[in-house]
Amino acid sequence: MTKLTLGTHPFLLGFEQLERLVEHTAKTGNDGYPPYNIEQTSERSYRITLAVAGFAEDDLSITVENRQLVIRGRQRDDGSERTFLHRGIAARQFQRSFVLADAVEVQGASMENGLLHIDLHRAAPDTVLQRIEISKGVS
C-alpha cells in the first residue's frame, strides 16, 4: 500500500514544493519572541503585529526574501554603564519569518506604542480560461 502525501496526491500536480515548504516551516522553530498577532483586516488584507517594546525603528529591518517576510531586530548598545537590579524587559536580537503566498504583497509597516504593524494585501486572482485543441491521431 502506497502512502499518499500532499505533494504526491494524483489531483495536485506540480505542488511538490508545497510539501517542502510546510516541512521547512515546521522545522524553523521560533522561540516565541517577540510575541505577535495575525489578523484579517478585510477580505483580502492582513496585518501582522509584533510586540517590539524597547526597539527603535532603526533597530528593525523588514525584508521579503524568496516569498518569506523576514523581520529582524537588533538593539544597539547605548554605551552607558547601567546596573540593573532586575532585568525583565528583553533586549535580545530576534528574527521572525512568515511565508507569503504568491499573490500576497507587503503594503507597508508602521510603529505605534511599541508595536510593529506590517500590512499585507492579497491580490484578486485572474480568471484564466484556456481552450486546449485535440489533435487528430496519426495512423
| CATH number of the domain that residue 56 is part of | 2.60.40.790
Tell me the residue range of the domain where 25 lies. Answer: 1-30
Higher pLDDT pick, 114 / 82: 114
Higher pLDDT pick, 29 / 88: 88
- Has residue 112 got a pLDDT over 70? yes
Residues of the chain with pLDDT > 90, as a percent, come to 51
16 and 72 fall within a common domain: no
25 and 41 fall within a common domain: no
Higher pLDDT pick, 87 / 64: 64
Stated pTM of the model: 0.73
Higher pLDDT pick, 8 / 66: 66
Number of domains in the chain: 2
Q: pLDDT category, 89, cuts 50, 70, 90? A: confident
76 and 41 fall within a common domain: yes
Quickly tell me which residue has 515546521 as its cell.
Answer: 26
Residue 9 located in a structural domain: yes
42 and 78 fall within a common domain: yes
Give yes or no for a contact between 46 and 120, defined as CB atoms under 8 angstroms apart. Answer: yes
Arithmetic mean of pLDDT, 78-94:
80
Per-chain mean pLDDT for the chain: 85
Number of neighbours of residue 55 by Cβ within 10 angstroms: 22
88 and 25 fall within a common domain: no
* Distance spanning both ends of the chain, measured CA to CA: 39
Residue 58 one-letter amino acid? D
- Has residue 3 got a pLDDT over 70? no
Arithmetic mean of pLDDT, 118-128:
92
44 and 25 fall within a common domain: no
7 and 64 fall within a common domain: no
- Has residue 29 got a pLDDT over 60? no
pLDDT for the residue 122: 95
Q: Which H/E stretch holds residue 46?
A: strand 45-51
